């Protein structure tokens, strides 16, 4: 394991937590690459709505990695990005790509929960507070990917153009969520 350098002798966050967050940075970048590969797969299959959806997911995951990187740097520690393996680039069925994405979001959620547990164990209120945004975000990520998987499975390979329409119209997800948003206004 690489010994982390600190800008000062007293980092705001323990090296153990920083190492876990550096691992999470790698997971976020890996998710970004995987989503780019899935987007390219759907582009190759002439499914621009699905491609756009996954390219957007890729940007979002990259943004998450950058948010974690900023936290590590702000805490006075060094960012160490772990090695990232090549993404899966070819899928027999659309549902396989979406299922891989859902599984990945679940793994990311479990990793964030583990870091949160570690922060609590170390009485690290700074990190636990920081992670609360990610925990809420992961509920949305898993739910969204689960909804997309259900839609793709329901449509089947022959109905992917219907999925394209759903994505274009922005009608994926819970109707209740849209109702709550219209009642309360946009969330911050």
For 15-184, CATH number?
1.20.1260.10
Domain ranges of the chain: 15-184
Rounded-to-integer distance, Cα 61 and Cα 170, Å? 20
Instruction: Say what the pLDDT of residue 147 is.
Output: 95
Q: What is the pLDDT of residue 174?
A: 58
Interatomic CA distance for residues 101 and 104, integer angstroms:
5
Q: What angle do CA 146, 59, 42 make, to 5 degrees?
A: 60
What are the phi and psi torsion angles at 6 (to 5°)? -115, 150
Tokens 């009608």, residue? 171
- Average pLDDT along the chain: 90
Tokens found for residue 7: 């800008």
Per-residue exposure over 72-88, b if at least 16 CB sit within 10 Å of its own CB, e if not: beebbbbbbeeebeebe
> What does the pLDDT look like over 130-177, one tens digit per residue?
999 999 999 999 999 999 999 999 999 999 999 999 899 886 665 555
Q: Which of 43, 79, 70 is nearest to 58 (CA)?
A: 43
Yes or no: say if 135 and 113 are a contact pair by the CB < 8 Å rule. Answer: yes
Residues 6 or more apart whose CB falls under 8 angstroms from that of 119 comprise 17, 125, 127, 128, 131
Write down the pLDDT at residue 170. Answer: 80
The pLDDT score that the predictor gives to residue 188 is 45
Q: What is the pTM of this model?
A: 0.86
What are the tens digits of pLDDT across the range 49-97? 999 999 999 999 999 999 999 999 999 999 999 999 999 999 999 999 9
- For the cut 60, the answer to whether the pLDDT of residue 181 exceeds it is no
Question: Residue range 35-44: average pLDDT?
Answer: 98
pLDDT bracket for residue 7 (50, 70, 90): very low
């Amino acid at each position: 394991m690489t010994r982390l350098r600190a800008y000062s002798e007293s980092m705001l966050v323990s090296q153990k937590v920083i190492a876990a967050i550096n691992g999470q940075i790698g997971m976020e970048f890996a998710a970004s690459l995987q989503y780019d590969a899935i987007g390219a797969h759907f582009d190759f299959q002439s499914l621009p709505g699905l491609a756009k959806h996954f390219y957007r997911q890729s940007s979002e995951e990259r943004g998450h990695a950058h948010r974690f990187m900023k936290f590590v740097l702000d805490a006075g520690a060094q960012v160490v990005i772990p090695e990232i393996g090549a993404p899966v680039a070819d899928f027999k069925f659309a549902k396989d790509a979406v299922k891989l994405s859902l599984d990945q979001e679940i793994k990311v959620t479990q990793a964030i929960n583990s870091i949160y547990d570690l922060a609590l164990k170390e009485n690290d209120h700074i990190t636990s507070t920081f992670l609360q945004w990610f925990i809420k975000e992961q509920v949305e990520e898993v739910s969204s990917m689960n909804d997309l998987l259900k839609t793709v499975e329901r449509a089947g390979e022959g109905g992917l153009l219907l999925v394209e329409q759903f994505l274009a119209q922005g009608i994926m997800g819970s109707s209740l969520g849209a109702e709550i948003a219209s009642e309360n206004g946009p969330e911050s």
